[in-house]
Amino acid sequence: MIVNQQKSAGKNGAAVSLASSSKGNGGYSIIEMLGVVAILVVLTAISIPYAYNYNKLYRTEDQALKIIDMMQEAGQRALTRRRTVRFEIDLTENKMHIIDEPTTGPHELIRSVDLLPTYEVMVDETPSGITTPSPPDYPVAEFLSDNFGHTKPDGTAVVGNTVWQARYRSNGSVIGPDATPVPLNATLILWPPKPGEPTEANSLGEVRALTLFAGSGAMKYWKYNGTEFVSH
């Protein structure tokens, strides 16, 4: 009888112990979970404006770096293929192109990358009050009608778009679109236009410039500090 009572007490004790353990490890209450959700909502509401402003601030920088990457790729392809490869900023399509220029046959599109909308980043004009980096004080890139043209992979012929062209040669130098090869030294200026004032930069601190050196195909990257361009 005593043994049975001890066994019963042992079982009851074990049951109480398991119940206590289960209660202690039962997870979070609804109130605690709602508190965590409320904190996440507040943090998200605070961070969204900062993230938006950060992306807006670096749009011109992002586009400038993409242009540099595409121009360097065009130069490398020219060296590898041992023939002229053209880099093109096409305002009509709002894209950047890399185009192969074989000795015979049509010029063929190799690669295209979208540009940001012109209401976010301008690249074909200079904002009022801004002058090109000096030295070297190279002229601003001139956008003209495309007389070379190219063929897309689907066979579509494209000609007459408004473009700026830099033609990389197999020796590393860069020439312009002239019929007679002329070394191309140029400056591209990128900037965010002010809403309602298309000739003014929305923020001088967001203005960027790229200088192309014809002899070597090298690029120099500049940031505007509010009064002048500073090399980076």
pLDDT tens, per residue, the chain with 232 residues: 444 444 444 444 444 443 444 444 556 788 877 877 877 777 766 655 544 444 555 799 999 999 999 999 999 999 999 999 999 999 999 999 999 999 899 999 999 999 999 999 999 999 999 999 999 999 999 999 999 999 999 999 999 999 999 999 999 999 999 878 899 999 999 999 999 998 999 999 999 999 999 999 999 999 999 999 999 8
Q: How far apart are CA 224 and CA 228, in angstroms?
A: 6
Asked whether the beta carbons of 159 and 106 are under 8 A apart, the reply is no
Beta pairing class for 174-175 and 157-158: unpaired
Partnered with residue 85 across adjacent β-strands are 100, 168
Q: Strand, coil or helix: what is 25?
A: coil
Q: Residue 25: inside a domain, yes or no?
A: no
Q: Residue 32: inside a domain, yes or no?
A: no
- Any idea what the CATH number is for the domain that residue 166 is in? 3.55.40.10
124, two tokens: 């074909």
Closest CA to 111 of 95, 130, 123: 95
Asked whether the beta carbons of 37 and 29 are under 8 A apart, the reply is no
Confidence (pLDDT) at 38: 76
Q: Residue 183: inside a domain, yes or no?
A: yes
In which order are the strands placed within the sheet that holds 229-231? 186-190, 208-212, 219-224, 229-231
Asked whether the beta carbons of 197 and 206 are under 8 A apart, the reply is no
DSSP state of 192: P
Q: Residue 21: inside a domain, yes or no?
A: no
Confidence (pLDDT) at 47: 55
**CA distance to 56, 112, 127, 193, 201, per residue, from 197 (Å):** 18, 30, 10, 7, 8
Domain hosting residue 133, numbered range: 60-231
The number of domains in the chain is 1
Supply the pTM of this predicted model.
0.76
Q: How far apart are CA 206 and CA 191, in angstroms?
A: 6
Q: Residue 135: inside a domain, yes or no?
A: yes
